[in-house]
Amino acid sequence: MSKRVLTTESGAPVADNQNSASAGVGGPLLLQDQHLLEKLARFNRERIPERVVHARGSGAYGHFTVTDDVSDLTSAAFLSTVGKRTELFTRFSTVADNLGGADAVRDPRGFAVKFYTEEGNYDLVGNNTPVFFIKDPLKFPDFIHSQKRDPFTGKQEPDNVWDFWAHAPEATHQVTWLMGDRGIPASYRHMNGYGSHTYQWTNAAGEAFFVKYHFKTNQGIRSLSAEQGQELAGKDANSHQTDLLQAIERGVHPSWTLYVQVMPAAEADGYRFNPFDLTKVWPHADHPLRRVGRLVLDRNPDNVFAEVEQAAFSPNNFVPGIGPSPDKMLQGRLFAYADAHRYRLGVNHTQLAVNAPRATAADNYGRDGLMAANAQPRGEKNYEPNSYGGPVETGAPLSAPLAVHGHTGTHEAPAHSKDDDFFQAGELYRLMSEEERARLVANIAGGLSQVSREDVIEKNLAHFHAADPAYGKRVEAAVRTLREG
């Protein structure tokens, strides 16, 4: 078997890959050594800007199989019949830390799925929590700044974290999730995933429904205590990546069962909570889970950079039968996610293998730009409409239209009869066992007690008191004990 020949980027054979060209033995190096220059220049450019959030991630390929008929809810082709199977790619991630951070930390986890459907790619971007810290995208940069490394100290600061939460009472629900037992998953395989946002499904008759996605892990929920997380992060910063990789390699394929909560569109206005508020859940007693199908991961990427780091998920990638809701955070992300990928990867990032459609082909008039891989066929027109047989619009909207009314302006979200920032956080606290409550209080107090300003501490304590008086008293006592000790 003949050996493969090492070449330059242009395909020319490399004579010597061990020694740079020099002016005589031991002399200075030569500018004419193009192999050296090309190699060093390429090395300098191996890294692209990391994601501002969800920078540290792992991913795998798999498939989704429909197990239950939901054709009464959506006309999406990949959900059309029981037994229908669709290939997919899933990426898990931590949110706040940088690319080199540890996996076993207290942080929400991203749970993003790219379905390669016959009607185009459908991207579902969510987390391992059903709620989030804020309800308006205008505050998202501020929130992330408060959670990331401080510009002066270069590390995450409790003062910043808790000061933001002190001014964001709506965060109390998610803070209770984050500081509870599920705040540090034992692995990506042992956590649930949620679409978190409210989405719209439209059936073939044009009827609209609002839905929330729930991916329930079939491996069972497993989490780490604060002490276990610290120990594991110190021993193996790549613990979750290692676990996912090794499980799939040995044939243990993780899976999740997808359920949806369904709300007929006509019920949304009169519901007691704002159904489009990302800081709130829909109680299952009101809208029970309805099973849809099974997601299985069975193949690891061949190249983490090409397929995980360059994977680009955009919640604006819908398919017929699925669309957005008036969820403010979702509306902001419809722009922000796609724009982040254009910045990081270039305008042609959708041509990369992990992002390109697989069960169909992209056919449009987008042209040129950095790293354009799909050249325009000779003589084909690059405008629409045209008289030369180019692709044309269908006239069929992907989803039902959303009703709008009122005046333009900066409005707070509409208040429903039971809307407040604390009720659901209190409900979550009251659902916990005594042992879970004790760990929750200890986790909150451990961070809040490090805050330097008493007024910031008092504002946060007021939120926990408002959620549940016993909750507030226990956190307050624990914080005082730590600060006085």
How far are the Cα atoms of 23, 105, 128, 171, 192 from residue 233, in angstroms, in the given order?
A: 50, 7, 19, 26, 21
The Cα 70–Cα 89 span in angstroms is 22
Q: What is the 8-class DSSP label of residue 11? A: S
Beta strands per DSSP E along 265-308:
290-299
**CA nearest to 448, candidates 108, 164, 141:** 164
Following DSSP, what letter does each residue of 426-481 receive, concatenated? Answer: HHHHHHS-HHHHHHHHHHHHHHHTT-S-HHHHHHHHHHHHHH-HHHHHHHHHHHHH
Which residue(s) pair with 302 in the sheet? none
Joined together, the tokens standing for residue 276 give 């489009």
Q: Say which of 63, 121, 127, 197 is annotated catalytic.
A: 127
63 a catalytic residue: no
How far are the Cα atoms of 121, 181, 320 from residue 265, in angstroms, in the given order?
A: 25, 34, 17
Q: Kind of pairing, strands 85-94 and 255-264? A: unpaired
386 a catalytic residue: no
Quick check: bond before 385 cis, omega within 30? yes
Radius of gyration of the chain (CA): 25
The Cα 103–Cα 189 span in angstroms is 13
Q: Say which of 35, 54, 341, 463 is annotated catalytic.
A: 54
Joined together, the tokens standing for residue 333 give 């992300």
As to burial, measured by CB atoms within 10 angstroms (0-12 exposed, 13-18 middle, 19+ buried), residue 289 is middle
Q: Name the residues annotated as catalytic.
A: 54, 127
